Structure formats: C-alpha cells, structure tokens
Chain A
Amino acid sequence: DTEVTQTPKHLVMGMTNKKSLKCEQHMGHRAMYWYKQKAKKPPELMFVYSYEKLSINESVPSRFSPECPNSSLLNLHLHALQPEDSALYLCASRGLPTGDYEQYFGPGTRLTVT
C-alpha cells in the first residue's frame, strides 16, 4: 500500500472557525510533511515531522498548528485563518530520514477561507 490519504477533500471555513486537516499513511514511513500550494504555483514546504517530532517549521504563522499523534497520522489544526490562506494543502510521507527514498503525496485538501 503506497497510499497517503487526506481528509477532508474540500473544506470551507470562516475566519473565526477552528478546523483540522488529517493525513494518514500505513507505509511505515517515519517522515511526514505538510505543503501549501496556491493556485498556479509550486508546492511550498510548511512543516516536517521526523519520528513524530517536529524537525522543520518554515516560519509558518501560528494560526497553523501541526500535530503528529503517532507514526501514521499527521494533523494540521487551523484557527483564525485569513482568506489568503485559501490553498491546496498537501501531505506527504517518506521512508527513513536517511537514504534515497522518494516522497509520496496525498491528493490534498482544497481549503477555502471566507
């Protein structure tokens, strides 16, 4: 099974809402990632978790809060977002942090902030 799943597929939220995005993989990968992709732009890295610990935060605003409750799950908690945060949010996973393993991406969650 080489699948990364993400839920929900689409999410519309107001600026005062709190919501969460979920990502799951069962490949035994120990590195997991969140990317943000605006329309017609390439994906941009937000966070990296390695062995369930946050290893990289690309200066992401605190209204985005990642969580890795176990090695298979990755969440992104959203609070007080702005309309400009509307984007496709992609999750990815990879094998051990060393070695030459490719990243597997999920289909993404299309987020619209109203």
Chain B
Amino acid sequence: DAKTTQPPSMDCAEGRAANLPCNHSTISGNEYVYWYRQIHSQGPQYIIHGLKNNETNEMASLIITEDRKSSTLILPHATLRDTAVYYCIVRVGGYSTLTFGKGTMLLVSP
C-alpha cells in the first residue's frame, strides 16, 4: 500500500466544517482512498472511500484531486462527538488488509 501523510492534529469549532487533508503522492491507479476514524477507546469506524470521483455519504464528503495525489475529508458540521483520530489509508480495491498510519487527531471544541 502507498503511504499517506496527515497533519498530527487539527482543531475545529463545533458547527463549523472540518477539513482534514491527506497526501498520497505515490498512489497507484488501482488504489482507493479510505477514511476511518477512531473515537477514544473504541474500535475504528469506516467513514468513506473513493477512487477518482468525489464521494458523499451521510457522515462526510471526500474530495480527491484530479491527479489523485491528495484528498480532503470534509465533516460539514462538526460536533463534539466527531472528536477522534482520523486515518487516511490507500489500498488496492478488494485487497483485504488495512495499514494504519499515525492519523490526525481532530479536536472539536464548543
């Protein structure tokens, strides 16, 4: 799997959009971008994934640049419950394992 680079921490005010960046400059054409998050002392939770196109679901939006070398996870209206470590992972579609990097600790404050 290609490696990813994420800022170690970010802050966001409650109710504002949280934009979490991820660099994956060595991503291959058949690798997807996945995002998971881990709330303190819980198991990781899947958020969203994409290959080329932007994706949106009930939790978040994923914006992937045209050259696919970076992406941004957007939480449109962050709440205190969104405080967590967010992991950006690239992996081949269908490949069974996840390799977690250090992630970004997002702190949402009142």
Residues of A within 8 A of B (CB): 4, 31, 33, 42-45, 48, 50, 55-56, 88, 90, 92, 94, 97-100, 102-108, 110
Report whether A90 and B94 are in contact in the complex, using a CB–CB cutoff of 8 Å: no
Verify if B45 is at the interface (C-beta below 8 Å from A): yes
Residues of A within 8 A of B102 (CB): 42
Report whether B96 and A108 are in contact in the complex, using a CB–CB cutoff of 8 Å: no
Residues of B within 8 A of A4 (CB): 43
Report whether A50 and B96 are in contact in the complex, using a CB–CB cutoff of 8 Å: yes
Report whether A45 and B97 are in contact in the complex, using a CB–CB cutoff of 8 Å: yes
The complex places the Cα of A6 from the Cα of B41 at a distance, in Å, of: 13
Report whether B98 and A103 are in contact in the complex, using a CB–CB cutoff of 8 Å: yes
The complex places the Cα of A98 from the Cα of B92 at a distance, in Å, of: 10
Cβ-Cβ contact count across A and B, 8 Å cutoff: 55
Report whether A97 and B49 are in contact in the complex, using a CB–CB cutoff of 8 Å: no
What are 22 contact pairs spanning A and B, CB under 8 A? A4-B43, A31-B96, A42-B85, A42-B87, A42-B102, A43-B38, A45-B97, A45-B98, A55-B96, A56-B96, A88-B41, A90-B43, A92-B44, A97-B96, A100-B49, A102-B34, A102-B46, A103-B44, A103-B46, A104-B46, A105-B44, A108-B42
Residues of B within 8 A of A (CB): 32, 34, 38, 41-46, 49, 85, 87, 93-94, 96-103
Residues of A within 8 A of B38 (CB): 43
Q: How far is the CB of A85 from chain B (nearest CB, A)?
A: 18
Residues of B within 8 A of A99 (CB): 93-94
Report whether A48 and B46 are in contact in the complex, using a CB–CB cutoff of 8 Å: no
The complex places the Cα of A48 from the Cα of B44 at a distance, in Å, of: 17
Residues of A within 8 A of B99 (CB): 45
User: Of B44, B87, B97, B101, which contacts A90 at CB under 8 A?
Assistant: B44
The complex places the Cα of A31 from the Cα of B94 at a distance, in Å, of: 12
Report whether A42 and B103 are in contact in the complex, using a CB–CB cutoff of 8 Å: yes
Q: How far is the CB of A24 from chain B (nearest CB, A)?
A: 14
The complex places the Cα of A23 from the Cα of B97 at a distance, in Å, of: 18
- Extra 8 A-B pairs, beta carbons < 8 Å, given A100-B32, A102-B34: A31-B96, A90-B44, A100-B93, A102-B46, A105-B45, A107-B42, A107-B43, A108-B42
